Amino acid sequence: MRAGPFPPAKIAIAIVNWRNAADTIACLESLHHLADDDVMIVVCDNGSGDGSVDKLVAWANGTLAGWGRSFRLWQDGELPAAPPRDYLNIIAGAQNLGFAGGNNLCIRLALADPGIEGVWLLNNDTEVLPGSLAALRARMAEDARIGICGSTLVYHHDKTTVQAVAGRYDIARGAGGEIGQGSTLATLPPRGQVEAEMSYPPGASMLASRQFIDSVGLMEESYFLYFEELDWTLRGKPDFTVGWAPESVVFHKEGGSIGTDGRSRPSDLSLYYNLVNRLRIARRFAPGSVPVNVARLGAIAMKYLLSGDRRAARIALHALGDFFGGRYRTGAWLSANRAAPAQNGTR
Q: Which of 315, 299, 319, 314 is nearest to 173 (CA)?
A: 299
What is the arithmetic mean of pLDDT over 315-331? 87
Calpha distance 187→328 (Å, rounded): 41
pLDDT at 86 > cutoff 80 = yes
Assess if residue 216 is contained within a domain.
yes
Calpha distance 258→344 (Å, rounded): 6
Rg for the chain, CA atoms, rounded:
20
Output the pLDDT for position 77: 85
Q: Which of 159, 158, 118 is nearest to 136 (CA)?
A: 118
Residues 106 and 215 in one domain: yes
- State pLDDT tens for residues 41-75: 999 999 999 999 999 999 999 999 999 999 999 99
Residues 295 and 222 in one domain: no
Q: Which of 177, 179, 129 is nearest to 156 (CA)?
A: 129
Confidence of residue 327 (pLDDT cuts 50, 70, 90): confident
Measured CA distances, 124 to 82, 88, 206, 222 (Å): 27, 14, 13, 21
What is the arithmetic mean of pLDDT over 213-221? 97
Segment among 26-30, 246-250, 251-255, 306-310 with least mean pLDDT: 251-255
Give the domain range for residue 175: 11-256
- Boundary (domain end) residue, out of 221, 256, 291: 256
In this structure, what CATH number is given to the domain that contains residue 63? Answer: 3.90.550.60
Residues 161 and 202 in one domain: yes
The DSSP symbol for 64 reads I
Assess if residue 27 is contained within a domain.
yes
What is the arithmetic mean of pLDDT over 208-223? 97
Confidence of residue 221 (pLDDT cuts 50, 70, 90): very high
Residues 193 and 286 in one domain: no
pLDDT at 336 > cutoff 60 = no
Calpha distance 166→222 (Å, rounded): 23
Output the pLDDT for position 254: 72
pLDDT at 97 > cutoff 70 = yes
What is the arithmetic mean of pLDDT over 264-274? 87
What is the arithmetic mean of pLDDT over 278-288? 97
Amino acid at 341: P
- Boundary (domain end) residue, out of 233, 256, 279: 256
Residues 191 and 283 in one domain: no
Numbers of helices and strands, H then E, in the chain: 11, 12
What is the arithmetic mean of pLDDT over 301-330? 92
Calpha distance 339→226 (Å, rounded): 19
- State pLDDT tens for residues 112-152: 999 999 999 999 999 999 999 999 999 999 999 999 999 99
Q: Structural domain tally of the chain? A: 2
Confidence (pTM): 0.91
Output the pLDDT for position 3: 47
Strands 88-92 and 11-17 come out as: unpaired
Is there a contact between 147 and 214 (Cβ–Cβ < 8 Å)?
no
Calpha distance 192→258 (Å, rounded): 32
Output the pLDDT for position 231: 98
Confidence of residue 331 (pLDDT cuts 50, 70, 90): low
- Boundary (domain end) residue, out of 228, 256, 284: 256
CA terminus-to-terminus distance, the chain: 27
Residues 114 and 33 in one domain: yes
What is the arithmetic mean of pLDDT over 154-180? 95
What is the arithmetic mean of pLDDT over 236-243? 97
Mean pLDDT over all residues of the chain?
A: 91
Residues 159 and 277 in one domain: no
In degrees, rounded to 5, the angle at the alpha carbon of residue 229 between the alpha carbons of residues 250 and 168 is: 80
* H helix runs in 48-97, sequence order: 52-59, 65-66
Assess if residue 344 is contained within a domain.
no
Residues 34 and 61 in one domain: yes
Segment among 6-10, 127-131, 252-256 with least mean pLDDT: 252-256
Confidence of residue 344 (pLDDT cuts 50, 70, 90): very low
